[in-house]
Amino acid sequence: MIKVLKYLKKYWYIAALSPLFMILEVSMDLIQPDLMSKIVDQGVLGENMDLIFEFGIQMIIFTFIGCIGGILSGVFGNMAAQSFANDLRKDAFSKVMKMSFQQTDKFTTGSLVTRLTNDITACQDFVGMALRMMVRTTMQFVGGIYMVLNIDARFGLILLVTLPVQLIIVAVVLKKGAPLFGVVQSKLDRVNSVVQENVSGARVVKAYTREQYEIDRFGTANDELCNTNLRVQKLMALLVPVLSILMNASVLAVIYLGGLQVQAQELEVGRIMAAITYITQILMSVMMIGMMFQQVTRASASAKRIREVLDADPVIGSGSFDGNTEIKGTVEFRNISFRYPGVQANNVLEDISFTVNKGETVAILGATGCGKTSLVNLIARFYDATEGQVLVDGVDVKEYDLDALRKKIGFVLQKSELFSDTIENNIRWGNPDATDEEVREAAMIAQADGFIQGFTDGYKDIVTEKGSSLSGGQKQRLSIARAIVKKPEILIFDDSMSALDLTTDAKLQRALRENLGDTTVIMIAQRVASVMGADKIAVIENGRLAAFDNHENLMKSCDVYQDIYNSQMREGDEKVG
């Protein structure tokens, strides 16, 4: 909690004003009962209308001053809380953006969404409450006791009996409820994860008519959240009625004890009325403290979860090398072995070595699950190799500043991710400073210009969320254009032409050779027809490099490549026949 609350330090001057104005409001509240007792004892019983009018005016003035103090306390408290949450949310989001794939997989998307929204809101509510209500309840508690004892010390005996009982009840309830707040947040994570999966995978759900299954799965997660919340609320619901009973019992005790003193002419009626008000304020403050500790407990659980995000130092640490090299566009894998951290016991890749020279087009071919994507992910340091080295332009990628390294690389991922924006802005993601001509040139190389011109607004046409208005091939071509406009030294295609027909694929390959002759191209493909024209082909089998040569030589020397070629070409001939 302390690390999270450090974000309030920047706004200390605003935060300090909130409790100061709250002190003003509570001071006015503590004066009111004393004035009321004087109106009753000296004005009403003494039949002095001037005195009633005088004290009445004072009460109105003090009420107005207290009202102003309460309003300003709320304004400054909310300003401090909102500013605190704003900075905290920005830092947490920045931390998420710097996380490696390994870390985001560990947290899960649903959990990160909950932490950046619900958890930070809980901490924001706590800050706003602490600046106002904690000061109010503390001052009412201390000030009320002082005022009651000032009226008659014997009223302290009532507090001596009731206060310990109240505090014990509050402590027991909070002790039992505190662990449940962490459970509530984890259940909320699960609900968010299910919602996120279903929104992003809505087409798959509908295609397989699994709506009812997903409704039931969400219902289970939601019921678990509801039931855990009910357990917490049932426990917390005990506080108010039990503490109210104690408060009313205390009031009765004050009336009884005060009545005896009035009969003995030791105390005036107005003083008894003031004592009742102060006792009520004291016990109400204890009740409010109990309710506040409920918020404190929840905020503490949320702060712990936020701190886990803030303390998550990137597994992939950035180096210091700025990327300026004499050699451009080379990639070397040197005795590479790799396994996914904490997931697999065996290596996905084993002792792989080969070099890609500047301007070469190298294809990576192999069966599904043989480690092709895992291999190219090591180039941009989405993951680090377990053993061996990956060198870009002759320098170990671990020595590079991450931004400098990734500026050298244009990456087209397996899954085409597009954003709700214009087509030209989606392409310009690769290079925000690209001109309209450069955007169109990249689209033409990617074979996207033709279908873009067919849209009503052309390049100004809006892409719907996740590109749902586009076909798979159109999304892939826009993703390729986005990488091309970046003008990288190294261009990586991670099976990102799978949705293209052979004719479009061939046109794209030809355009890449003609326009990006100095760019190193590494492409993962499933189809032999897509890679036959590559300078070199790396054949991966069961995580190992089976061969590395051009198509002609592989057809003579590599059984694995021959099997893939024969199976695909035979299937093609059968389809044609």
At 128, is the secondary structure helix, strand, or coil?
Answer: helix
More confident residue, 354 or 108: 354
- In the predicted structure, residue 323 carries a pLDDT above the cut 90: no
In this structure, how many other beta carbons lie within 10 angstroms of the beta carbon of residue 123? Answer: 26
Q: What is the pLDDT of residues 522-573, one digit of tens each?
A: 999 877 887 888 899 999 988 899 999 999 999 988 888 888 888 877 654 4
More confident residue, 500 or 401: 401
Q: What is the pLDDT of residues 163-191, one digit of tens each?
A: 888 888 878 887 887 778 778 878 887 88
Mean pLDDT of 54-63: 90
Mean pLDDT of 71-92: 92
Query: In 311-413, which ranges are continuous DSSP H helix?
Result: 372-377, 402-407
Mean pLDDT of 189-216: 79
pLDDT category, 34, cuts 50, 70, 90? confident
Q: Are 467 and 203 in contact (CB under 8 A)?
A: no
Which residues contact residue 108 at a Cβ distance below 8 angstroms, ignoring those fewer than 6 apart?
189, 193
Per-residue confidence (pLDDT) for residue 203, from 0 to 100: 66
Q: Are 513 and 506 in contact (CB under 8 A)?
A: no
More confident residue, 287 or 87: 87
Per-residue confidence (pLDDT) for residue 438, from 0 to 100: 92
Q: Which of 172-186, 296-310, 477-491 has the highest mean pLDDT?
A: 477-491
Nearest to 480 by CA among 454, 519, 518: 519
Superfamily of domain 2-310 in CATH is ABC transporter type 1, transmembrane domain (1.20.1560.10)
Q: Which of 240-249, 335-344, 483-492 has the highest mean pLDDT?
A: 483-492
Which strands form 349-356's sheet, in the order they lie side by side? 349-356, 331-338, 387-392, 395-396
Per-residue confidence (pLDDT) for residue 573, from 0 to 100: 47
Mean pLDDT of 118-136: 88
- In the predicted structure, residue 136 carries a pLDDT above the cut 50: yes
Per-residue confidence (pLDDT) for residue 343, from 0 to 100: 64
Mean pLDDT of 124-151: 87
Per-residue confidence (pLDDT) for residue 574, from 0 to 100: 45
pLDDT category, 344, cuts 50, 70, 90? low
Cα–Cα distance between 156 and 170 in angstroms, integer? 21
Mean pLDDT of 309-330: 85
- C-alpha atoms less than 13 angstroms from C-alpha of 360 in its C-beta half-sphere: 20
Nearest 10 degrees: Cα torsion 98, 102, 107, 110? 80
- Would you kindly state where each structural domain of the chain is located, as residue ranges? 2-310, 327-408+520-577
- In the predicted structure, residue 576 carries a pLDDT above the cut 50: no
Per-residue confidence (pLDDT) for residue 442, from 0 to 100: 92
Per-residue confidence (pLDDT) for residue 481, from 0 to 100: 92
- In the predicted structure, residue 373 carries a pLDDT above the cut 70: yes
Cα–Cα distance between 456 and 434 in angstroms, integer? 23
- In the predicted structure, residue 389 carries a pLDDT above the cut 90: yes
Per-residue confidence (pLDDT) for residue 440, from 0 to 100: 92
Least confident of 17-31, 250-264, 359-373: 250-264
Per-residue confidence (pLDDT) for residue 571, from 0 to 100: 54
Question: Which whole-number Å values give the CA distances from 552 to 361, 364, 532, in the listed order?
Answer: 15, 16, 9
Cα–Cα distance between 295 and 304 in angstroms, integer? 14
Per-residue confidence (pLDDT) for residue 68, from 0 to 100: 94
More confident residue, 466 or 337: 337
At 358, is the secondary structure helix, strand, or coil?
Answer: coil
In this structure, how many other beta carbons lie within 10 angstroms of the beta carbon of residue 311? Answer: 9
Which residues contact residue 375 at a Cβ distance below 8 angstroms, ignoring those fewer than 6 apart?
333, 336, 338, 349, 352, 364, 540
Q: Are 392 and 311 in contact (CB under 8 A)?
A: no
- What is the DSSP code string of 7-19? GGGGGHHHHHHHH
- What is the DSSP code string of 417-449? ---SSBHHHHHHTT-TT--HHHHHHHHHHTT-H
Cα–Cα distance between 510 and 223 in angstroms, integer? 56
Taking every pair of Cα atoms in the chain, the longest distance, rounded to a whole number of angstroms, is 120
Is residue 54 classed exposed, middle or buried when 0-12, 13-18 and 19+ CB atoms within 10 A define those classes? middle
The encoded tokens of residue 90 equal 């920005």
Which residues contact residue 305 at a Cβ distance below 8 angstroms, ignoring those fewer than 6 apart?
114, 115, 119, 182, 185
Please give the CATH number for the structural domain made up of 327-408+520-577: 3.40.50.300
Query: In 98-119, which ranges are continuous DSSP H helix?
Result: 101-107, 109-114
Mean pLDDT of 4-10: 86
More confident residue, 416 or 454: 454
More confident residue, 197 or 549: 549
Domains 2-310 and 327-408+520-577 share a fold: no
In this structure, how many other beta carbons lie within 10 angstroms of the beta carbon of residue 9? Answer: 9
Per-residue confidence (pLDDT) for residue 502, from 0 to 100: 78
Name residue 549's amino acid.
D
Mean pLDDT of 495-510: 83
| Summary mean pLDDT of the chain | 85
Q: Phi and psi (nearest 5°) for 540?
A: -105, 130
pTM of the entire predicted model: 0.70
Per-residue confidence (pLDDT) for residue 345, from 0 to 100: 66
- In the predicted structure, residue 139 carries a pLDDT above the cut 80: yes
Q: Phi and psi (nearest 5°) for 410?
A: -105, 120
Q: Which long-range contacts (CB under 8 A, 24 or more apart) does 82-86 make?
A: 82/124, 83/10, 83/11, 83/14, 84/7, 84/8, 84/11, 84/123, 84/124, 84/127, 85/120, 85/121, 85/123, 85/124, 85/127
Mean pLDDT of 120-133: 89
